[in-house]
Amino acid sequence: MITGAGKGLGRAISLALAAEGVNLALVSRTSQDLISLLAEANNLNSEIRASYQIADISDYSAVSASISAFIREFGQIDILINNAGIAKMGNFMELPVKEWEIIIQTNLLGSYYCIHEVLPAMLARKNGDIVNVSSTAGLKGFSNTSAYSASKFGLVGLSESLMMEVRSSGIRVFTANPSTIATSLAMELKLTDGNPEKVLQPEDFAEMILAHLKLPRRALVKNVSLWSTNP
């Protein structure tokens, strides 16, 4: 299951997993991107099963309903990739309270909601992978990123605490902290020009996630930061 699957990192991860023969349970707020993603994934590997649900992960009831639908269809969720996130940059006092709330609700509580719904079955099976996509902004604060950094710092703390709690049950929890990647969101925020000769691309991140998931079950990558070499 991949949240924020329609664009950017989520799309790249979905296609990388499809190429490996992994069935896909995709979540996004809009259907248009997911429809084209399903077609591309099935072209890569016609043997996989792929389905999607439209949901805003900041809404617990929507998350619960979507995961229930996936479990009815697929039987279980083996891998959860909490990728969906939003960002809004701005001076601390200039960002409206509502902006702060929706950033925290999406980036932090949204991941919590998804984990809350899939974890009981993983614990019962004593097997599963949870990948939480944070950010280097969740390791170090920057000017005008207080809301975004707060959400991502929170996700790092949640992820590390959960890892310590469930590793003895055979569940791997991995925190990914990418620097700026050439996604549409990053370019809209003017964080990068997306130059593929210098700047990280979504496919680079997907390759890193895939490598982690392929490790023997005895091996867990606790967290990793991915940077452009010379942007």
Q: Is 223 in a helix, a strand, or coil?
A: strand
Catalytic residue among 52, 112, 113, 148: 148
Query: How far, in Å, CA of 173 to CA of 10, rounded?
Result: 18
- Asked if 183 contacts 202 with a C-beta cutoff of 8 angstroms, the reply is yes
Give me the count of residues in the chain. Answer: 231
The DSSP call for residue 181 is B
What are the Cα distances from residue 216, in Å, to 31, 146, 221? 35, 37, 11
- Among the listed residues 95, 81, 85, 99, the one whose alpha carbon sits nearest the alpha carbon of residue 137: 85
**In this structure, what is the dihedral angle of CA atoms 201, 205, 210, 213, given to the nearest 10 degrees?**
180
113 catalytic per annotation: no
List the beta strands (DSSP E) in the chain.
2-3, 24-28, 50-54, 79-82, 128-133, 171-178, 223-226
Active site residues: 148
